Amino acid sequence: MDRVYFPKKEDSIEFFDNLRENSKLSWNKISKLIGTTRSMVGKYREGELSIPEERFNHLLSLINVHKEDYFLRKTRKKNKNWGQIIGGKKAYKINKKSFAEGRKQGGYRVKYEFNICMPLSEELCEFIGVIIGDGFTNKYGTMYETQIVGDKNLDKEYYFNKLSKICQSLFNIKPNIAIKEDGIRLTLYSKRVFELLTKRFKIPKGVKSYTVEIPLEIQNSESKFLKATVRGMFDTDGGVGFDKRKRYKKPYVRINYTSASKILIQQLSSFLKQENIPHSIHPNRNSQIIQINGEQNVKGFIHKIGFSNQRHIKKIAYLTN
């Protein structure tokens, strides 16, 4: 685990003062939250010590969401054993032969992170669909961040019981999940995840609303992978609604998907046509909405694509009983 620090003392003080004001927690409670002492937090705040990355990520979750990027740009990282490494290099020069023998006897091994060239799977494609829907990834200085944002009340179960498990299964990373006034946020701090999204799947970093599309690799893959991707998209950026106007004998069910990316809407429309799922496209300010209308068409979507997010599943449970 690397360590994070602020090169300028005033930036460190501003960071800690902001998180305390935003969280409304005392210094004692903050120290307990990250598993350390009040005096240690004081040293972090004064810039006297660098902060273990996992501990820093917990602190970051207490920051005002609009200030995260601002503070991340001011941070730097270094390996937690940087002092030991320097000493280790000197020792290695003196005892080169002994080190070589030790490696032969001990079977010297390096623990690698996940491979960004991992085979396509339904789980991976569902994650990509989630990123297309409500996610983004970016690089801030030396830090790499991938984040998914949802409704703190409606999506809570989905984030903790589904998305968290997907992240741990795919990347062996337990994500940071924070619930704030403006929503729930799942965050992964990983260069590999960033490279997986931007290099392999060509998902734009930063703001992607108008340019994101279903990756070509997934478009050209098996149908089950494309379906999993679409499921992830609808789980996050889709919705289930009911038209209760008097013209209908009973509430008229609709599934919808909204996006500002015209190419994504066209890709999604083409996919639904291939799956024989009738739908319509409607303008909506700076975006477009795909609607799947009526019980029969909604049942077709449920049967062929389905949802993983309980907020949607519960609304249409009566159609699957």
Report, as an integer, the average pLDDT of 183-199. 92
122-319: CATH, from 3.10.28.10, 3.90.1170.50, 3.10.20.90, 3.30.110.60? 3.10.28.10
199 in helix, strand or coil? helix
Query: Structure tokens of 230?
Result: 């679409």
pLDDT in tens, 219-243: 999 999 999 999 999 999 999 999 8
Q: β-pairing, 252-259 with 238-243?
A: antiparallel
Residue boundaries of the structural domains of the chain: 3-78, 122-319
Determine which helix (DSSP H) or strand (DSSP E) holds 33, and give its type and residue range.
helix 27-33
Q: Is the pLDDT of residue 45 over 90?
A: yes
Q: How far is CA 283 from CA 100, 185, 244, 280, in A?
A: 67, 29, 21, 10
**Torsion of the alpha carbons at 79, 124, 255 and 206, rounded to the nearest 10:** 40
Under 8 Å between Cβ of 233 and 307: no
Determine which helix (DSSP H) or strand (DSSP E) holds 187, and give its type and residue range.
strand 183-189
Range of lowest pLDDT (69-83, 162-176, 246-260):
69-83
CA angle 153, 156, 159 (to 5 degrees): 150
pLDDT of 321 reads 66
Under 8 Å between Cβ of 34 and 62: no
pLDDT in tens, 267-300: 999 999 999 999 999 998 888 999 999 999 999 9
Q: What CATH class does 3-78 carry?
A: mainly alpha
DSSP per residue over 142-163, as a string? TEEEEEEEE-TTTSHHHIIIII
Report, as an integer, the average pLDDT of 91-117. 50
Range of lowest pLDDT (91-100, 197-206, 249-258, 286-295):
91-100
Q: Is 62 exposed, middle or buried (0-12, 13-18, 19+ CB in 10 A)?
A: buried
Query: Structure tokens of 44?
Result: 């972090």
The order of strands in the sheet holding 252-259 is 238-243, 252-259, 287-293, 280-284
DSSP per residue over 71-138, as a string? HHTT-EEE-TTHHHHHHHHHHHHHTHHHHHHHHHHHT--------TTPPP-HHHHHHHHHHHHHEEEE
Distance, in Å, from the CA atom of 6 to the CA atom of 74, rounded to the nearest integer, reads 6
pLDDT of 81 reads 57
Confidence of residue 15 (pLDDT cuts 50, 70, 90): very high
Report, as an integer, the average pLDDT of 154-170. 94
pTM of the model: 0.67
Per-residue DSSP letter, 175: -
- Percent of the chain whose predicted confidence (pLDDT) is above 70: 88
Report, as an integer, the average pLDDT of 260-268. 94
Query: Structure tokens of 237?
Result: 């950026």
Q: What Rg value do the Cα atoms of the chain yield, rounded?
A: 24
